[in-house]
Amino acid sequence: MAFRHRASSSDGVESGYASGSSIDSLPDIYFTRPHLKFINQQLAKLEPQDVLKWCLTSLPQLWQTSAFGLTGLAIMDMISKLDYAIKPNIELIFLDTLYHFPQTLELVERTKATYPSLKIHTYKPEGCETTADFEEKHGERLWETNEELYDYVAKVEPAQRAYKQLDVKAVLTGRRKSQGGKRGDLDIVEIDDQGLVKVNPLANWSFKQVQAYIKENGVPTNDLLDQGYRSVGDWHSTQPVTESEDERAGRWKGRNKTECGIHNKKSRYAMFLQEQEQQRQQELSDAIQNGLKIEAAS
């Protein structure tokens, strides 16, 4: 979903993301950059539950994406307890990379039992149902032989497929500033380079605040948290952390990496695919042009 600003001769406000003068081309919702800044300033003053209420009245086609980390679980619980005139109908997207810990998959089942009305849509790497399928298609230990490709086929492409098939316009995420890395300057509402609205309701909460909420409300958690893990991803790229480390320090430990690609700008592999497609389209266009010229000459 592209976000465009309706321009006029008297309007000197710059569009937040894409410009266009055709009203017919406008998406369901759009923000100017100043408007988005104002929204973030106001939402920063609210509790997460009130941010969620704002989302329900402001954002169509709203979904939650989660790998069942602590923050995502807290958001699920908050949604289930909203005392609101409009019954929340926020469904969840879970990306099963086929390399999650068994404890994570067991947590998914416990979460379903705790929140029976929550509908979970599971997306796996394209054409794969099992780890064996994935390794037959892409080879073993792809995260070592081609990390960019692994991130794309295991996470980025399934997410893009989910958003397209489910007609997702906005998503709730569990990202927080206190998680460190690129998340340190996180806003509550963002728009990615594809025009997708991303809302981070707990952006301003600390890890201890999330822990306290989880404990007070009896929210199910991953058993790995009792073994020193804080942020849990794939088993091959997640390690326990010490009390003095950032909670995501155990992800891709010892490497200059803090994100898997879903929340980054387009990955290098995704950009490569885009360039290949553009080249293919250009070649096709050239072939058609040449064909037309030959036909005209005959």
User: Are the CB atoms for 113 and 83 separated by under 8 Å?
Assistant: no
Active-site choice (67, 93, 249, 260): 260
Known catalytic residue at 260: yes
Catalytic annotation, residues:
260
